Structure 1
Amino acid sequence: MSLHSISENAGELNKSTQEFIEKMYEYYKLSVFKKLTKGTTSMITFLIIGAVLFGAMLLITFAIALFIGEWLDNLALGFLILGGIYILIAVVVYYGFRKTIERKVLIKASRDFLDND
């Protein structure tokens, strides 16, 4: 093996290494773009659906509160009862399902973030 041959091989290795680093940089750049786009799309979809459902729930809540208030001949009491029911539901969900919800969100987020497709 001559010194010239070793020099050529070292030059090729340097060129191949540089190309590999550039390709990896492009790959990770595209991967980050894909994950950010997927996350942004999911967040926008969640916000739109959440806003529509919030509006529907608000109207249904008013209708139920008015119904209870008319039934009891006291509108304020109808709203108070429904507010108490919602507080009770929130406490039950918080203490009963908090860990389950955290686990499901963590699993879904890690699948989306760590997905190599």
Structure 2
Amino acid sequence: MSLNDSLTNTNKKAKQVSEKFFHTSYEYYKLKIFQQLTTSFGIVFKTIFIGSLLVIGLTFLAIALAFLIGKSLGNYTQGFLIVGGGFVILSIIAFMLRKHMSNFIVSKLSEKFFN
């Protein structure tokens, strides 16, 4: 009888320890996922916010530059064409470097996400 009681008692303790471990692990991973999601959403929100402000600023700078070039050439249309051509050239360069940009973004986000 003593051996049977001892085994039953040991099984109950093992069950309690495993339930506590499962509950603790569950809570830890729940908090970890919450941390990763908030960090990711924070990065996305900041990127969109700063990027939007940057786009607005660059738009006004491009318009001002186009007017400046157009005034110096005596033809505003040529100024806008030159600035537009500059943006097309920058777009082509960005298109050619897209794989490098993707690798850079993945490496930076993986550092944030997996640490």
TM > 0.5 fold call: yes
| TM tier relative to shorter chain | over 0.9
Aligned equivalents of 2:24 and 2:91: distance in 1? 50
Whole-angstrom CA distance in 2 between matches of 1:21 and 1:29: 12
- Deviations 1:67-107, CA, capped at 9 Å, x for gaps: 11112211112111111110111101211x22221111111
Aligned to 1:103: 103
Report the CA distance between 1:50 and its aligned residue: 1.2
SS where residue 43 of structure 1 aligns?
A: helix
**Aligned to 1:80, what secondary structure does the other structure show?**
helix
1:39 CA displacement: 1.0
Q: Under a length normalisation based on structure 1, what TM-score does the superposition of the two structures give?
A: 0.91
C-alpha displacement of 1:22: 0.6
Map of 1:73 onto structure 2: 74
Corresponding pairs, count: 114
1:109 maps to a residue whose letter is L
CA-atom RMSD in angstroms: 1.2
Q: Could you say what secondary structure the match of 1:2 adopts?
A: helix
What TM-score, normalized to structure 2?
A: 0.92
Q: Residue 95 of structure 2 aligns with which residue?
A: 94
Letter in 2 for 1:81: I
In 1, Cα distance between the equivalents of 2:26 and 2:112?
A: 21
1:14-93 alignment, distance < 5 Å: 14-93=15-94
Shift of 1:56: 1.2
Q: Aligned equivalents of 1:82 and 1:64: distance in 2? A: 7
Residue 114 (structure 1) aligns with: 114
How big is each residue's C-alpha offset from its partner over 1:42-77, in whole Å with a ceiling of 9 and x where there is no partner?
A: 112112211221121111101110011112211112
